[in-house]
Amino acid sequence: MPRSAHLLALLVLMAWAWSPAIALGATCGGGVPCQCGNAVASDYTMTADLGPCPGHGLYVRSNVTLDCGGFAIVGLGDGSEQYGIYLDGDTGAEVTGATVKGCEITGFQRGIRLRAAEQSTILDSYTHGNGDFGSHVGYGIDVTLGSKNNLLQDNIIAGNADEGIHFASDTGPNQFVGNVLFDNYREQIYVLASDGNTFIGNTTYGAGSNSLYLKDSNNNYLEGNTFKDRTTKVIGASSDNTFVNNTFVNSALQFSVYSATPDRIPSNNTVAGGSMNNTGTCLRFTSTWGNVVSDLTLQSCGTQVMSESTTAEPSSNAVVSTALTSSKLSVDTASTLSVAWWLSVHVQDAAGAAIAGARVQALDAGGNLVFDLLTDASGNLPAQSLQEYVRTGSASDDKTPHTLTTSKTGYVSDSRGLQIVQDQAVTVVLGADGGAGGGGGTSGSFSDNFDRPDSTVVGNGWQPAAAGDFFVSAGELRSGAAKGNHLALVSTLAGKDQTAAADFASVDNNPNPRLGVMLRAQNAQNYYLVYRRSGSSNQLRIAKVVNGVETVLASMSIKKPALNTFFRVEGRAVGTTLTLLLDGEAKLSASDATFTSGSAGVLVGSNSIKAYRTDNFSATAQ
C-alpha cells in the first residue's frame, strides 16, 4: 500500500476513535439512538448531549419530531461549515412537516438550517455560540432556499458570530413568534428579499449592529415586538411592510435608500401604534418616500423625526396622529414631512338615524380637495388623514383650517370649518329640506358633437376632466395619452331620471378598453356606469362605483367591436332601474338604489396610452 494511503487510513481511524458517536449517512430515531451525522427518520427524544460533532449534528426528515429534551448538540466550535440541526431539502424535494423542539445547539457554523423546508416547526430551542468568530460568518438560525410556511416560536438565539436569524432571498411566508434574540454580533434579525413573513411578540436587545435589518423585502407584518438598544432599519426596495404596536426602547426606526446602480428605495411602508424612546434620533427617513407613521408615541427623543435626502432622491413621508415638537424636527431642504391627524365623520338626520350615501368633501386652507367620499350604510366615512402642515427645511406650510361640506338630496347641506391640530370625530346632522334636486346642476338636456377647433380644453359646459384627461381633435373627443380611466362630467346638468349616450370607437381592443357613459355621478369616485368592455373579456356591463370601487350589477357577452368603427352606448336611470342600450337596442337592465340623483358624463379607460374616440354625446335629466 502506498505511504499516502496508509496515512489517509490512519487519519480516518483516528477520527472514528476520537468521536465514536459518528455514523455518517445512517438513520436513527424511534428505538435507534442518534449519533452525530445521523438522519432522524422517526420520532426521537434525546436522553443525553450529543457531540462534539465534527460534521453536521443531525438531519431531520419530513414528518418527524426531534425532541432534544433540553440536551445539547455540540459542534467543534472551529467555524467550519457544519450545521447543528439540518432540515436539508431541495426544490421539488422539500422537507415538510418536521418538528424540532427543546434543543440547545452550539459550536456549529449555523445552529439550525432550514433548506427548502415547508410547514415545519422549530420550538423552545436555544442556539448560541455558532459561527466563525474570526471572520464573523454564521448564524443562529438560517432559513434559505425557498423555505416557507414554517413556524419558529419561543426560541432563544444569542451570541452568534454574525446574525441571530437570517431569512434568505425567496423565502417566505414564515412565522417568527415569541423569540428572544440578543448579543448576536451583527443583526439580531436579518430579512433579505424575503416576503410575506409574520413577526409577532419577539424581543431583541444587547450588542450588535441592528435589531432588525429588513432589506429588499415586501409585505412583511410585524406586531407587538420589542426592539431594544439597536436601530431597526428598513432599507432597499422594501415596500408594503406593516409595523403594528411595536415597542422601540433606546432604539431608532430608519427607512433608508440602499446605494446601488440604480439606488433602491423603500416606499409605502406603514407604522401604526406602539411607542419609541431614544436619546438620539427616533424616526429617520433617508431618501425615501410614501412611508406613513401613525399613532406612535414618541418619548424622550433627542430628535423626534429626521428627514434627509438629496435633490435627486428627495424624502417625502407622513406622520399622522403623533405629537411633535418643532424644535425636535430635523428636515433638510430637499425633504418634505407631512404632519397630519385623523378625522372620523358620521352623518345622521335630526332623529339620529344614519344617513347613507351622503357626500362629504374636505378642502384644505388653500382650497385644495382633500377627499370627496360617500358615507356607508352606517352613515360613516373611513378614517381620513388631514394635514396640519407640511415641513420643508425649516419652513412650514399650514394646511388647516379645513372646510368640511356635507350634502345629500332632500337635506339641507352643512358646511363648517375645522382646525386640524389633533384627532377629531365629527357628527354632522342634516335637516330635511323636502327638495328633490341634486348634483349641483339643473334638469334639462345637453348635447355636444365636438365640432369645434382642436383644443386641449374640452369646454362647452364640461367640467375639467374629473380624472385623467380629454382633448378635442378632428371634431371628436379623445382620451389623453395615459393609462387608466378618463372621466368628464357635464357640470350644468343634474337630476333624478337621466339618459346619457355617446358614440365610441376602439382604436385597439387588446388593452381592455372600457367605453361608456356615467349616470347620477356624484364625483369622480361615485357614479353608475354603463359601458362596453373589449379585449380579454368582451362584455356589456352595468356597474356602480362607490368610493372608487366598482361593482358589476349586470353583464352579458358580446362580440369584439371592429376597430375605428363607431357604436353607440346609451344608459338610462329611471327610479331604481338602470338600462343599457347598444346602437338603440336595449340589452341589459339592473336595479339599484345607491344613487338617486347626480350628473351625467363619459368614461374612457384602458391599459394603453392610445387616444380612444368619442363623439355625439347627449344627455337629459329631470
- 3-class state of residue 567 by DSSP: strand
Assess whether pLDDT exceeds 50 at residue 71: yes
Stronger pLDDT, 453 or 1, i.e. the higher one:
453
- Whether the ω angle into residue 262 lies within 30 degrees of 0, i.e. cis, is yes
Assess whether pLDDT exceeds 60 at residue 11: no
Residue 25 confidence (pLDDT): 66
What per-residue string of b and e applies to 113-146 under the rule 16 or more CB within 10 Å gives b? bbbbbbebbbbbbbbbbbbbbeeebbbbbbbbbb
pLDDT tens per residue, range 353-404: 999 999 999 999 998 999 999 999 999 999 999 999 999 999 999 999 999 9
Instruction: For residue 576, name the pLDDT band (cuts at 50, 70, 90).
Output: very high
**Mean pLDDT value of segment 230-254:** 98
- Contact criterion met (CB below 8 Å) for 486 and 506: no
Cα(first)–Cα(last) distance of the chain, in Å?
109
Please tell me the total number of residues recorded for the chain in this structure.
Answer: 622
Q: Please determine, looking at this structure, whether the domain spanning 341-430 carries the CATH number 3.30.70.270.
A: no
What per-residue string of b and e applies to 195-217 under the rule 16 or more CB within 10 Å gives b? bbbebbebbbbeebbbbbbbbbb
Residue 88 DSSP label: E
Give me the residues paired with residue 514 across strands.
Answer: 533, 605
- 64-333 CATH choice from 2.160.20.10, 2.40.10.220, 1.10.1740.10, 3.10.20.90: 2.160.20.10
Residue 464 confidence (pLDDT): 56
Stronger pLDDT, 125 or 442, i.e. the higher one:
125
Give me the residues paired with residue 319 across strands.
Answer: 293, 339
203-205, strands of its sheet edge to edge? 50-53, 72-75, 104-106, 126-128, 156-158, 180-182, 203-205, 226-228, 247-249, 275-277, 297-299
Instruction: For residue 442, name the pLDDT band (cuts at 50, 70, 90).
Output: low
**Mean pLDDT value of segment 120-142:** 98
- In degrees and rounded to multiples of 5, residue 618 shows phi and psi of -145, 150
Stronger pLDDT, 438 or 90, i.e. the higher one:
90
Assess whether pLDDT exceeds 80 at residue 214: yes
| Residue ranges of the chain assigned to CATH 2.60.120.560 | 444-621
- Contact criterion met (CB below 8 Å) for 66 and 103: yes
**Closest Cα to residue 49, out of 119, 118, 102, 123?**
102
Residue 30 confidence (pLDDT): 95
Residue 368 confidence (pLDDT): 92
Euclidean distance between CA atoms 397 and 28, whole angstroms: 71
Residues contacting 585, CB < 8 A, separation 6+: none
- Contact criterion met (CB below 8 Å) for 179 and 155: yes
Instruction: For residue 5, name the pLDDT band (cuts at 50, 70, 90).
Output: very low
Euclidean distance between CA atoms 596 and 572, whole angstroms: 13
**Mean pLDDT value of segment 96-120:** 99
What's the chain's average pLDDT?
91
CA distances from 208 to 189, 223, 586 (A): 10, 22, 71
Residue type present at position 136: H
Euclidean distance between CA atoms 61 and 283, whole angstroms: 44
Stronger pLDDT, 177 or 511, i.e. the higher one:
177
**Closest Cα to residue 572, out of 551, 554, 588?**
588
Assess whether pLDDT exceeds 90 at residue 148: yes
CA distances from 39 to 30, 66, 77, 116, 147 (A): 12, 10, 21, 16, 19
Longest dimension (CA), the chain: 112
pLDDT tens per residue, range 521-558: 888 889 999 999 998 889 999 999 999 899 999 999 99
| Residue ranges of the chain assigned to CATH 2.160.20.10 | 64-333
| Residue ranges of the chain assigned to CATH 2.60.40.10 | 341-430
- 444-621 CATH choice from 3.40.50.2000, 2.60.120.560, 2.60.40.420, 3.10.20.600: 2.60.120.560
pLDDT tens per residue, range 318-342: 999 999 999 999 999 999 999 999 9
User: What is the dihedral angle through the alpha carbons of 588, 589, 594, 597, rounded to the nearest 10 degrees?
Assistant: 90
**Closest Cα to residue 58, out of 35, 92, 33?**
35
CA distances from 150 to 116, 142, 144, 216, 242 (A): 10, 12, 12, 21, 20
User: Which residue has cell 427548502?
Assistant: 116
Residues contacting 113, CB < 8 A, separation 6+: 83, 85, 86, 87, 88, 141, 142, 144
Model pTM above 0.75: no
